[in-house]
A and B are shown apart, each in its own frame.
Chain A
Amino acid sequence: MSDRMILGIETSCDETGVAVLHGDNVLSSVLATQTDMHSRFGGVVPEVAARAHIEAIRPMVHLALRKAGVHSDQLDAVAATRGPGLVGSLMVGFSFGKALAWGLQKPFVGVDHMEGHLFAPLLENPGYRPPAVVLLASGGHSQIVHMRDWGDYTVMGSTIDDAAGEAFDKLARFMGLGYPGGPAIDRTSDDGNPAAIEFPRALADRPFDFSFSGLKTSVVNHLQKAKAAGALPPIEDVAASVQEAIVDVLVAKTFNAVVETGAPVVAAGGGVLANRRLRAAMEERAAAAGVALYLPAPSLCTDNGAMIAAAARFRLDAGEQATWFDDVDPGLRLD
């Protein structure tokens, strides 16, 4: 792929991510995270997120350029996330990126956030390439994507209710473990027995789809019964068993897709991929199945500007760019 200098802006949810990509090299990637602002609500509050983005966007773009040692005139293109995501958040980064590109007289690219995640592994491993099965799991999305080629995707499965990260957040909140739920449950699980409680694995009849809302009901019922019987299990065992239930389903369905497609490569992205048990389970299954596994570093799994720039580079190479009339699309789909 080309060695363009691209500024990537990501504001689809609660992180203001900006990066400068030059060819294969990430010259800078900066992130203003809002986790603390949302912690008291146990989840992302759209209006709070949008307010934080409008404050962070200009300083973060400035910081990314400065850290990269690049002047805005040296940019070959500007890219920003077009969707899916929260409309108020998307609008800030997309409007800023488009106006910056217009002001600099450079091409602008509106990027599908999910396609950004598909390109993230490439930033660490230039050898990564389709065909691949990719698990995307975060607080806002849970999907299994069959990537036949760059730009040629089928969403094989997705969640029918909560996203995986949302399930972690809700369960952690119910258990009083705080926000964000994924890291809290991950830490608490260290001292727990993952086999202590057998929580149900939903949607056995749909090989590539997820459902997590039933898990919460099951955990609540189990604990209320246990409490009434005066035998509340240790919180570490509950956390480890909850984590095992979520991880089990994510991994099993990803590898169902590997069997179905015969893809020689598995990759993953999204904030939930920071979970250590999930990473270990993916590694075990990939080794057993004899497929190559690309798990980006946690900083590239969570939302970031570099993956947006990487996807934009592919789009520019394919001769695509946005028009000035383009708008955000909160419901954008990969296929």
Chain B
Amino acid sequence: MKTLAIETATPASSVALGDGAELVAMSASVAGKGHVGFLVPAIDFCFDRAGWIRDDLELVAVDIGPGPFTGLRAGLSVAQALAAAVGVPIVTVSSLDVLALRAATGRRIIWPVVDVRRGQVATASYRPVPGGVVQDGPAEVVTPEELAALINASGDDALVVGDHTALPDGVFQGLHRVKVGRPRFPAADVILEIAQMRAGRGIFASAEEVRPLYMREPDALINWSDIREEGLWPGAAG
């Protein structure tokens, strides 16, 4: 299927066109800002390079995170609009899946990390298998110290990939089985591979699934009771 993949789960955004899993064109930005200014021009450029017209498109694949929400929403808005304009289905992928699949060489357990701000990372563990990876446990949001403890408790040799700048120096000190490696950011060409597998099995996203994978309540929901003020009139709603 002629597929457009959109990646905005981290400060590095990219788009890729694939015919099946075969990469046809790709454009990437490491600027760290401006997903909104990057995405459509990049898609336009890739279509031009590939010699595709709009109606050639058969599938849109998009990363739904985890990752910073604002960037994810830019990618998801573009994915939804294009899928609606051309009338094609959407496949969603996880940023952790994308990182793990790219890192899948060797025998180490792969722990992809995505910086979700406020001193936390999203992670999950993946086992390499022939032809890809298998996710071992659920994705969770943890501090770097909690990540080190999880890896230590697993007892396996580990490969940590993803944005290592979110991990303080020395957080894995004393853990001799841990190696830190690449890639640093997920990229759209890997999404193409996952999308072909999903689409081949008929796993398309429903409208409700085309949402960022938040894994965290908005701050206001966590703290909302703190910001109420007492009314002066007894019985009035506060």
Contacts and interface: CB of A to CB of B under 8 A. Distances in A.
Whether chains A and B associate is yes
Interface of A: 40-42, 45, 47-48, 50-51, 53-55, 57-59, 61-62, 72, 87-88, 91-100, 102-105, 173-178, 223, 227, 232, 235, 324-328
A68 to B, nearest CB: 15
Interface string B194-238: 000000000000010011101000111100100111111100111
B84 A62 contact: yes
Contact of A175 (B85, B86, B232): B232
Given A54-B211, A95-B39, A95-B77, 13 more contacts: A42-B227, A48-B221, A54-B212, A57-B80, A58-B81, A58-B210, A95-B35, A104-B85, A105-B54, A223-B232, A227-B232, A324-B41, A328-B36
Interface of B: 34-37, 39-41, 43-44, 54, 69-70, 73-74, 76-82, 84-86, 207, 210-212, 214, 218-221, 224, 227-233, 236-238
Query: Is the contact region of chain A dominated by helix, strand, or loop, or is it mixed?
Result: helix
A325 B227 CA distance: 39
B82 A88 contact: no
A174 B74 CA distance: 37
A55 B79 CA distance: 13
Contacts of A102: 40, 43-44, 82, 85
A177 B233 CA distance: 9
Contact of A54 (B73, B221, B232): B73
Contacts of A91: 36, 70, 73-74, 77
A150 B34 CA distance: 31
Contacts of A328: 36
Of B35, B74, B212, B237, chain A has the most CB atoms within 10 Å of the CB of: B74
A176 B34 contact: no
B237 A178 contact: yes
A39 to B, nearest CB: 9
A50 B70 contact: yes
A58 B207 contact: yes
B80 A96 contact: yes
Contacts of A99: 39-40, 43, 77-79, 81-82, 85
Contacts of A53: 73
B232 A100 contact: no
13 contacts: A48-B220, A48-B221, A50-B73, A51-B69, A53-B73, A92-B73, A95-B77, A95-B81, A99-B43, A104-B85, A175-B232, A176-B236, A324-B44
Nearest to B238: A176
Q: Is the interface of B mostly helix, strand, loop or mixed?
A: helix
A228 to B, nearest CB: 12
Nearest to B47: A102
B233 A47 contact: no
A268 B212 CA distance: 38
Contacts of A96: 77-78, 80-81
Contacts of A93: 77
Contact of A58 (B84, B224, B231): B84
Given A96-B78, A177-B237, A47 B220 contact: yes
Contact of B236 (A59, A88, A235, A324): A235
Nearest to A93: B77
Nearest to A72: B85
A334 B4 CA distance: 37
Most chain B CB inside 10 Å of its own CB: which residue of A55, A91, A102: A102
A95 B36 contact: yes
A58 B36 contact: no
A178 B233 CA distance: 12
B232 A176 contact: yes
A104 B86 CA distance: 8
Given A91-B74, A105-B54, A327 B34 contact: yes
Residue among B34, B43, B81, B238 with most chain A CB within 10 A: B81
Given A41-B227, A47-B69, A174-B229, A54 B76 contact: yes
B77 A41 contact: no
B167 to A, nearest CB: 25
Among B212, B214, B227, residue most surrounded by chain A Cβ atoms (within 10 Å) = B227
A54 B54 contact: no
